[in-house]
Amino acid sequence: MSVLDVNHTPHPPHVHADEELLLLLHGKAQLILPETKQKSLTIEPGEFVYYPANFSHTLKSIGKEPANYLMLKWQSGLSKKNGLSFQKYETKNIGFKETAKTGMKTGVVFEGNTKYLNKLHCHITRLQPGGGYKPHKDAHDVVIIMLNGKVKTEERILQKHGVAIHSAGVPHGIENIDQADAEYIVFEFHGKNKQYLFYLFRFIKKLIRFIISPKRWVSRAKKIKLK
């Protein structure tokens, strides 16, 4: 997270090998984008941008108060032509749909492959009081950023602008512990091949449990005895 004083920039326009997401939390900023037709655009709280690798950019705080923003940066062993290009997104006016999980609605913001990821996915979740889901494992890394409300995830309490990172293969659940709806943004980072190994390992683990299950063999023995 960074705080940028009014009328200041952190550095001249630059490029780097990392891919990047920038979410504005407070204040107002002007993105300076030498490689685009418009050359610059304004970003306000609740809006965010995706920067592809080696994309020239910087920003300037232009509001009456300092600009506070959160940045996510990453690389991986996968290297191919970019799928997603630079784009600005918002967290408001999202079309939510009911899910099978208790008291939860989600709205997809974007999804696509990048230079380093098989898939970068983003959605907004709205969670009713008491709603949520039990711990489960994902084959990909997940980042949750709270927009409003209060939730509990793996013994941690997250409130507005709180961040949780759930690594691939680590169990995690969530519950709205407030009296009002909670909203949070989810970024999924689907890396190279790891997800397939994860699902293969999970299948083999379940198969072994099924084969060596005492209840299964006792039940089968009883059937044979009855015959």
Tens digits of residue pLDDT in 20-38: 999 999 999 999 999 999 9
Q: Residue 104: is its pLDDT beyond 70?
A: yes
The CA-atom distances, in angstroms, between 129 and each of 34, 36, 144 are: 45, 43, 18
Q: Is 26 exposed, middle or buried (0-12, 13-18, 19+ CB in 10 A)?
A: middle
d(CA 61, CA 59): 7
- Residue 77's pLDDT band (cuts 50, 70, 90): confident
The CA-atom distances, in angstroms, between 209 and each of 112, 136, 220 are: 36, 18, 16
What's the pLDDT score for residue 223? Answer: 58
Asked if 120 and 84 touch (Cβ cutoff 8 Å), the reply is yes
- Whole-number average pLDDT of the chain: 89
What's the helix, strand, coil split of the chain in %, to 5? 15, 45, 40
DSSP 197: H
What's the pLDDT score for residue 208? Answer: 72
Q: Residue 101: is its pLDDT beyond 90?
A: no
Q: Which helix (H) or strand (E) holds 103?
A: strand 102-112
Q: Which helix (H) or strand (E) holds 224?
A: helix 214-226
Structure-token pair, residue 126:
């709205």
Q: Residue 221: is its pLDDT beyond 70?
A: no
The CA-atom distances, in angstroms, between 184 and each of 49, 120, 153, 158 are: 16, 17, 12, 10
What's the pLDDT score for residue 220? Answer: 60
Q: Residue 197: is its pLDDT beyond 60?
A: no
Asked if 117 and 72 touch (Cβ cutoff 8 Å), the reply is no
State CA 82 to chain mean position distance: 19
Tens-place pLDDT, residues 48-72: 999 999 999 999 999 999 999 999 9
Radius of gyration of the chain (CA): 22
DSSP 83: S
d(CA 177, CA 222): 47
